[in-house]
Amino acid sequence: MKSNDVLGLIFSNSCESTLTELTAHRTTASVPIGGKYRMIDFVLSNLANSNVNNVGIVAKSGFMSLMDHIGSGSAWDLSKKRSGITILPPYAGVSFSNKVETLYQLRGYFEDANEDYVLISESNIINNVDFTELFYLHSVNKADITLVYKNMMVPEKYTPMTISHDNIGKVEKVLIQPNVKGKCNLYLGTLLMKTELFLELINKAISENELDFNRLIQKWVDEYTVFAYECPGTCAVISSMNEYYRFNMELMNGELRKELFKADRPILTKVRDDAPCKYGLTSSVKNSLVSQGCFIDGEVENCVISKGVHISKGAKVSNCIIMQDTEIGEGCNLNYLIIDKDVKIAPNKSMAGADSYPIHIEKKSVIK
C-alpha cells in the first residue's frame, strides 16, 4: 500500500459536548493548544508527514476559525496540483447528526476520490505518529480493518472503547464503556480500511438502521479480519477542560516536547508573522512557553502564552493558559485561568481558579 493511495478523513467536532467553553465560538479542531498550534495540526501533520496527499475535514458547526486556519493547506504542503484539503460542511440544510449518517451523506466524496483506502481520525488526539508503519502492517496482516489504540488511562469525560487482541495483534473483542480501572487499550477513533469496503459497510448500516458507529466496529470484529495498531510515543486525548489544561501544563516538560515535536517529523501549523517577543525591564518569566509577538513587563510563571499577548507592568500571572492577542492590565494577579482570545483585563484585577478546576474566560470578554 502506498501512502498516496490513502484518503484521510478528520472529524473536526470531536468531544465538542465536553469542551463546551472552548467550542462555543469554534469547532474542536481549531482550539488553540501549546501556545502556537491548533488541535487539528497534530493529525494533519501526521498525515502530511506520512505522504497522505488528500484530506477531507468534516465540519459540523462553528468552522469559520477552522477555515481561516486551514486556508489552502499550504502550511502542510497540501495545496499542490495532485493534493489538497477539502472542508466538508453540512449541506442541503441538514446538519450532521451522528457519525454513520454523516459518512453516508459524504458517500459522493468517497466515490469521487481516487484513493483505494480511507483513514478516519479524530481531531482531539495529540500525538506524532508515522502512519506509514500502520499502512505497512495493514498490508502485511492482510487486514480488512485496522484500529489504532494506545495503552493509557481513560481521559476524563471520555466514552471509552477498549480493544483486546492476541499476540499477533488480531482483535478478539471490543468493549464500549467498560468499567476500567488503571490503564487499558483505548481505541483512539482512528481506523484504516479499503474505501470500497467502507462504502459497502456504511450503506449496509444505513439500510439496517444501525447508526451507532462504535457498535458497528464491535460487529465488524466478528465478521471481518480486524487488527490493532498501538500508537507509539506520547499520546493525549483532549476530552474535557481539565484534560486540556493538564496537557498544556505538561508541555513545559522538555522531555515530552522532545518526544512530541521531532525535527524529522515536524508538527506544522499556519504561520503568523509576528516580531520576536519583547521583555520589559521589570519582567520575570519562569518555566513558561511564550510565543512570538508578545510584550511582557510583568511576572509570569508556569504559563502557556500564545501570540500577541500583552502583560503589563506589575501583573503577576501564574499557572495560566493565555490565548492570542489578550491584554492584561497593570497590577493584575491571575492564577489557574484559561483565558481565551482577545480578552481585555483592566488593571488591578485578581482572579483565581484551582489546579483541579481552572476558570475559563470567554473569547473577547472585557473585564473592567
Q: What was the pLDDT predicted at 94?
A: 53
**190 & 52 share domain:** yes
The Cα-based distances of 319 to 22, 186, 203, 353 in angstroms read: 18, 29, 49, 10
Sign of CA dihedral 169, 170, 174, 180: negative
Query: What value does the mean pLDDT take over residues 214-228?
Result: 96
Identify whether 268 is part of a domain.
no
Identify whether 155 is part of a domain.
yes
**How far apart, in whole angstroms, are the C-alpha atoms of residue 16 and residue 32?**
14
**322 & 361 share domain:** yes
Give residues with Cβ within 8 angstroms of 214, minimum separation 6: 159, 161, 174, 176
Identify whether 266 is part of a domain.
no
> Which of 283, 345, 357 minimizes the C-alpha distance to 319?
357
**43 & 109 share domain:** yes
For the chain, the domain total comes to: 2
Identify whether 325 is part of a domain.
yes
**214 & 300 share domain:** no
**How far apart, in whole angstroms, are the C-alpha atoms of residue 193 and residue 225?**
11
CATH number, residue 318: 2.160.10.10
Q: What's the pLDDT band for 120 if we cut at 50, 70, 90?
A: very high
Which residue, 209, 226, 260, sits at the end of a domain? 260
Question: How many Cβ atoms from other residues are within 10 Å of residue 322's Cβ?
Answer: 29
Contact indicator for 39, 31 with CB cutoff of 8 Å: yes
**How far apart, in whole angstroms, are the C-alpha atoms of residue 118 and residue 250?**
33
Q: What's the pLDDT band for 91 if we cut at 50, 70, 90?
A: low
Identify whether 20 is part of a domain.
yes
**How far apart, in whole angstroms, are the C-alpha atoms of residue 66 and residue 126?**
17
Identify the three-state secondary structure at position 348.
coil
| Amino acid symbol at 272 | R
Q: Comparing 60 with 276, which gets the higher pLDDT?
A: 276
| Amino acid symbol at 165 | H
List residues bridging with 310 in a β-sheet. 295, 327
**200 & 306 share domain:** no
Which residue, 213, 230, 260, sits at the end of a domain? 260
Residue labelled with grid coordinates 471490543: 174
Q: What was the pLDDT predicted at 180?
A: 87
Q: Comparing 96 with 202, which gets the higher pLDDT?
A: 202
Query: What value does the mean pLDDT take over residues 210-227?
Result: 95
| Amino acid symbol at 27 | T
**256 & 282 share domain:** no
Burial of 156 from C-beta contacts in 10 A (0-12 / 13-18 / 19+):
middle
Give the gyration radius of the chain's Cα atoms: 21
Q: What's the pLDDT band for 282 if we cut at 50, 70, 90?
A: very high
Q: What was the pLDDT predicted at 332?
A: 97
**230 & 302 share domain:** no
pTM: 0.94
C-alpha cell at 352: 483565581
Q: Note down the domain range covering 338.
A: 278-367
**253 & 331 share domain:** no
Question: Would the pLDDT of 92 be above 70?
Answer: no
**154 & 82 share domain:** yes
Identify whether 283 is part of a domain.
yes
Which residue, 228, 260, 292, sits at the end of a domain? 260
**58 & 163 share domain:** yes
CATH number, residue 86: 3.90.550.10
> Which of 351, 282, 342 minimizes the C-alpha distance to 320?
351
Q: What was the pLDDT predicted at 273?
A: 85
pLDDT digits (tens, 9 = 90+) for 231-278: 999 999 999 999 999 999 999 999 999 999 999 999 999 988 889 999
Residue labelled with grid coordinates 502564552: 305
Identify whether 270 is part of a domain.
no
For 93-183, list the strands marked E by DSSP: 117-122, 125-127, 145-152, 161-165, 171-176
Question: Phi first, then psi: what are they for 115, rounded to 5°?
Answer: -75, 140
**190 & 326 share domain:** no
**321 & 220 share domain:** no
Identify whether 210 is part of a domain.
yes
Question: Would the pLDDT of 96 be above 90?
Answer: no
